Structure 1
């Protein structure tokens, strides 16, 4: 039986039909517009198939508390037309099949855990570093969640002594996302990251901040593997720099084994979100 997957991003929606082994049968991508227009396109795509369930990895913040009256509702997003929109309710009404929803980064983590760079370990952390910074944690096949979904991109890290940048986060200024996201790089240097490829100091500073975050996540969650994705990580030199700063900052306090196998790149390219959405419905008949 086929299942549906939706990667509901802030700039684009990806919809796919496949199975819970991660195989994609058909896929479509279109821009994220207002909720009604966008979800009409979603409905039109899936109408061609008989699906047993749908998994959704959505931009947020989103209410994931199952006992909440607003479960499955987009919360205080800067995308004003989506603010307080019940995306889960709309999908359940449109398709009359079980719909499973989580954040986009949680879905990406589950995808890598089940089918990619984390499939040989019991726990992994997936961090996306791009327009924003977020992370998801999966242990024994279960996505970690507290009262609501974690916002790991908004932790605070000590600022480098030579960096007086105020940060771009509208809520916290110089939190991790405020200092190390794609927009932070662009605002600090006046150029997008891909135009700074040859500037070693740019990536040394970036690695300095990301490594601090990974130290924090490691001592708190003790994952077996950390997977780094997102647009900023297209600068492949970052992996070695991050490993170097991580080892220096951790200072042998926690033994992580082979550092090249602990901090790794994704194995699913840019498809971990959609196959992770398939993984959300694993076990549904």
Structure 2
């Protein structure tokens, strides 16, 4: 095998899916994006791209929830999800039977976090976090260089946070109502404010609520794990990077000078920001998983 194996990566998102052929972010050979519709249509379109490529492994970084228990008969399938029609979709068996290549699967946020550690702003760090805010909200937490996972992968995007005063929005999440995904994901913002996030004015009061809610999530992640770096990507934040100074200020105020975190709060300029890979963090998460499959 060559020193730089080619990986076919599949990044499955709530709005779009990406098939990418690469050895890493500096060597992308092909890329195709398809809309996320029903599983049969979407996966067939992705497979049509892969069928024309020669590759050594497959990496899948998918929206979830995913069954990631290797002992489970449903390993590699999508569990109950907010994405209509996708519950029960078996990704690993389908792709494994079609391509017969080494294959690894993870959540899209863990994949992006591992890509950030391999190529991005988290290189050399033992603990870090990647948050995506788009069709949903996901959190990938790494500690000791490994994903945090217990009996199932974490769902910090469905964490509940303290609501802003006089904010009576019931929330968008069909499972939890006003969890963080139900408050600040793209569909939640559209329902909450009556128009899509990209149509909201930069100085609109809507972003005050967004910053308040997201800072609540960040506060909880920091007091639980104090990641060396917190990266926030996804479609909503990629278009609103100007919010980072406000988020840093809100998070520092929330930490309130407490204990060992007082110095952490003073370092948020370098600790909290966009992913080093930018919008490539998600697709490169799938490539990172394929490389992990070859190393297993």
TM-score bracket for the superposition, by shorter chain length? over 0.9
- The answer for the alignment partner of 1:201 in structure 2 is 205
CA distance, structure 1, for counterparts of residue 202 and residue 20 of structure 2:
37
CA distance, structure 1, for counterparts of residue 50 and residue 190 of structure 2:
38
- TM-score, normalised to structure 1, is 0.93
Answer yes or no: is 1:44 the counterpart of 2:44: no
CA distance, structure 2, for counterparts of residue 58 and residue 171 of structure 1:
19
Equivalent pair of 1:204/1:241 in contact (CA under 8 Å) = no
Q: Comparing 220-229 with 159-168, which one deviates more in the overlay?
A: 159-168
Shift of 1:32: 2.8
Equivalent pair of 1:75/1:83 in contact (CA under 8 Å) = yes
Equivalent pair of 1:22/1:278 in contact (CA under 8 Å) = no
Shift of 1:204: 1.8
Write out aligned runs for 1:95-174 (5 A).
95-174=99-178
Gaps of 5+ in 2: none
- The answer for the alignment partner of 1:269 in structure 2 is 278
Equivalent pair of 2:6/2:56 in contact (CA under 8 Å) = yes
Q: Comparing 162-171 with 72-81, which one deviates more in the overlay?
A: 72-81
CA distance, structure 2, for counterparts of residue 177 and residue 83 of structure 1:
18
SS of the counterpart of 2:113?
helix
Q: CA RMSD of the aligned region, Å? A: 1.9
Shift of 1:267: 2.4
Question: Which of 240, 248, 253 does residue 243 from structure 1 map onto?
Answer: 248
Gaps of 5+ in 1: none
CA distance, structure 1, for counterparts of residue 201 and residue 115 of structure 2:
29
Answer yes or no: is 1:25 the counterpart of 2:29: yes
Aligned length: 285
CA distance, structure 2, for counterparts of residue 87 and residue 27 of structure 1:
20
Answer yes or no: is 1:252 the counterpart of 2:285: no
Question: Which of 77, 85, 106 does residue 81 from structure 1 map onto?
Answer: 85
Deviation track 1:126-182 (CA, whole Å, cap 9, x = no partner) reads 111122111101234322211111111111111111312221121111111122222
Question: Which of 58, 68, 71 does residue 67 from structure 1 map onto?
Answer: 71
4+ residue runs over 6 A deviation: none
